[in-house]
Amino acid sequence: MPDSTQPIGIFDSGVGGLTVLAQIARRLPSERLVYLGDTARVPYGTKSPDTVARYARACARVLLSNHVKMVVVACNTASAFALEILQDELPLPVLGVIEPGARRAVLSTRNKVVGVIGTAGTVGSGAYQNTLTALEPGLRIHTAPCPLFVPLAEEGWIDGEVPEAIAKKYLDPMLRAGVDTIVLGCTHYPLLKNTIGLAAGPDVVLVDSADATSEVVAEILAGLQIASTTAATDSPRFLVTDSPDSFARLGARFLGHELADIQWVDIA
Ligand code: DGL
């Protein structure tokens, strides 16, 4: 059984999961965090389910060897394709981002018409659609893969004419269908929240899976009595499978501050 002094492990295909790390760090400031970004193999959003599952297993192994007490699959695509596999195989709690986001969307919608945006992999997997309808069978769900949002977020092109035009184009069909809630089903999309909000209009609620996930992490740790009981002084440790320098540059953009401790790991 894991104990309260161990860190929480978080992994993503690259830098995007830092949006999840940021929410966990904000909600649980006493916890030690280890983050793995599989930057050598990003993106996951365009890859097949088997490939993503293989990568996710390898990431989880690295976190286990770093003695984590739980694993958070911060990547929506990996949550869609590999969460159940990891939950079956790992001897500790494993949480993905899809169910927390879906629960929040069900609580938010008034007219029962919900939109989901994500990578082609996440949207194509049907994972959000299945989870949402399991929670609320009468929902009408409209989805749109928004692949250009990932490079826009990584380039820092999060505001202005071009991202707004792209957001409008992606969202137009679901807005016409009357969605009153849209799930940001990709790690990168919280960075574009303003732009997506402008395109969606003031009456549409945007659900941030990252924040919803941090709430469930807190519940799981409390339920298992493995929440940290001492104030953590360490800043998060970052592990990457490609150059620490480019992760540092992009990561600072995602977190809004410099990242201290970044190490390269080989998981091939
Ligand atoms: N982290 C991925 C996700 O949330 C987005 C980037 C990628 O395609 O790997 O689905």
Determine the distance separating the centroid of ligand 1 and the alpha carbon of 31, expressed in angstroms. 25
Closest CA to 246 of 9, 33, 17, 37: 37
pLDDT at 1: 76
In whole angstroms, give the CA distance from residue 267 to residue 256.
28
**Cβ(212)–Cβ(13) under 8 Å?**
no
Q: Which tokens is 75 given?
A: 């990547």
Q: Return phi, psi of residue 3, to 5°.
A: -125, 170
Assessment of whether the complete model's pTM goes beyond 0.85: yes
Closest CA to 146 of 177, 187, 205: 187
- The larger pLDDT score, comparing residue 52 to residue 230, is at 52
pLDDT at 154: 87
pLDDT at 260: 86
In whole angstroms, give the CA distance from residue 222 to residue 146.
35
Burial class (CB in 10 A: 0-12, 13-18, 19+), 46: middle
Judge if the upstream peptide bond of residue 173 is cis by omega within 30 degrees of 0.
no
How far separated are the first and last CA of the chain, in Å rounded?
28
For ligand 1, atom 6, name the residue with the nearest CA.
43
CA-119 nearest atom, ligand 1: 10
Closest CA to 181 of 125, 103, 124, 123: 103
pLDDT at 268: 65
Tell me the catalytic residues. Answer: 75, 186
pLDDT in tens, 65-112: 999 999 999 999 999 999 999 999 999 999 999 999 999 999 999 999
- Amino acid residing at 165: A
pLDDT at 231: 77
Determine the distance separating the centroid of ligand 1 and the alpha carbon of 13, expressed in angstroms. 6
In whole angstroms, give the CA distance from residue 167 to residue 123.
16
The enclosing H or E element of 142 equals: strand 140-145
- Amino acid residing at 12: D
pLDDT in tens, 142-160: 999 999 999 999 888 999 9
pLDDT at 267: 84
In this predicted structure, the answer to whether residue 232 has a pLDDT above a threshold of 70 is no
pLDDT at 137: 97
CA-45 nearest atom, ligand 1: 8
Which protein residues touch ligand 1 with a CB less than 6 Å away?
12-14, 16, 42-45, 75-77, 119, 122, 150, 186-188
Q: Report helix, strand and coil shares of the chain as percent, to nearest 5.
A: 50, 15, 35
For ligand 1, atom 2, name the residue with the nearest CA.
75
Would you give the DSSP letter of residue 7?
P
pLDDT in tens, 233-264: 778 999 999 999 999 999 998 899 999 899 99
The residues facing 33 across adjacent strands are 8
In this predicted structure, the answer to whether residue 141 has a pLDDT above a threshold of 80 is yes
For ligand 1, atom 1, name the residue with the nearest CA.
75
Determine the distance separating the centroid of ligand 1 and the alpha carbon of 82, expressed in angstroms. 13
Q: Which residue, chain included where needed, has tokens 């958070």? A: 72
